[in-house]
């Protein structure tokens, strides 16, 4: 079945450590996105990529980095510069930029 | 920037009741989307609306794209326990020459059996 796979489901980070969240899609979608969701809140856009080898900052990009070397993969790195990284992270994709987005099941990141 | 005001923030209803929630904005949106999120999972697209005035159904769910393009509502008829979750509206708007998707804060639906 086609879909978006995020891994791991749960991730723990030590202070000062970088961690990378995986997002893979087999939908042949051009556009991919990363969102952060805090308890009781809506979704805030971290980074997005309209096409392979291109990505842009979203509304809350500070302390995060991404790469888009392959069409199907859009990993997110939460760096030590992100002072409040505990959140639920959601990856999404759409056929092209501006079309309805389909989401993965998320990764919950916690600080040890 | 563009903001969506989603209401109500939470709803507590009896099984079998109808549900209505809406999103409003002071800005014009080009599309409206409605998602449902179950605990610990990603949002699932329920309905997509592309034209002002459009009324679309998906089973017991009905959504409309407001004629002014500044609002949308979602109705759920005859609610059942599996309707429990958080419902998000989202709209796409042209911001600084690019299409951007903006999310509402969500409506948490709780159903008493």
Please identify every stretch of chain A with a pLDDT value under 70, giving residue numbers as ranges: 1-2
Which residues in chain A have Cβ-Cβ distances shorter than 8 Å to B99?
97-98
Question: What is the SS3 assignment for B65?
Answer: strand
Q: Mark yes or no for CB contact B42/A92 under 8 Å.
A: yes
Whether A86 and A77 have beta carbons less than 8 Å apart is answered as: no
Which residue among A97, A98, A105 sits closest to B41, beta carbon to beta carbon?
Answer: A105
Tell me which chain A residue has its CA closest to the CA of residue B93. A98
Distance from C-alpha of B34 to C-alpha of B79, rounded to nearest angstrom? 17
Q: How far is B38 from chain A (nearest CA, A)?
A: 10
Over pLDDT 70: what percentage of chain B? 98
> Which tokens is A91 given?
């990856």
Which residues in chain A have Cβ-Cβ distances shorter than 8 Å to B42?
4, 6, 90, 92, 103-106
- The per-residue pLDDT for range A13-34, each reduced to its tens digit, is 888 899 999 999 999 999 999 9
Distance from C-alpha of A1 to C-alpha of A19, rounded to nearest angstrom? 28
Confidence label for B24 from pLDDT (cuts 50, 70 and 90): very high
Task: Suggest the residue from A101, A105, A108, A109 to mutate for an interface test with chain B (most B CBs closer than 10 A).
Answer: A101
Mean pLDDT over residues B42-47, rounded?
96
pLDDT at B94 over 90: no
pLDDT at B112: 86
- The per-residue pLDDT for range B56-84, each reduced to its tens digit, is 999 999 999 999 999 999 999 999 999 99
């Amino acid at each position: 079945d086609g879909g978006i796979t995020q891994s791991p489901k749960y991730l723990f980070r030590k202070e000062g450590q970088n961690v990378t969240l995986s997002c893979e899609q087999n939908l042949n979608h051009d556009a991919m996105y990363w969102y952060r969701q805090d308890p009781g809140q809506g979704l805030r856009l971290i980074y997005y990529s309209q096409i392979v080898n291109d990505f842009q900052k979203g509304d809350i990009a500070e302390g995060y980095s991404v790469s888009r070397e392959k069409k199907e993969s859009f990993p997110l790195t939460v760096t030590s510069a992100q002072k409040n990284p505990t959140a639920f992270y959601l990856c999404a994709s759409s056929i092209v930029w501006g079309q309805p987005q389909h989401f993965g099941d998320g990764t919950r990141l916690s600080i040890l | 920037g563009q903001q969506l005001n989603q209401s109500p923030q939470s709803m507590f209803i009896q099984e079998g009741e109808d549900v209505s929630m809406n999103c409003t904005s002071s800005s014009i949106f080009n599309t409206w989307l409605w998602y449902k999120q179950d605990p610990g999972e990603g949002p699932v697209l329920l309905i997509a609306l592309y034209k002002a005035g459009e009324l679309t159904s998906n089973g017991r769910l009905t959504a409309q794209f407001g004629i002014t393009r500044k609002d949308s509502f979602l109705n759920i008829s005859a609610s059942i326990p599996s309707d429990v979750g958080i419902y998000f509206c989202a709209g796409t708007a042209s911001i600084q020459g690019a299409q951007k998707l903006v999310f509402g804060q969500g409506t948490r639906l709780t159903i008493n059996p």
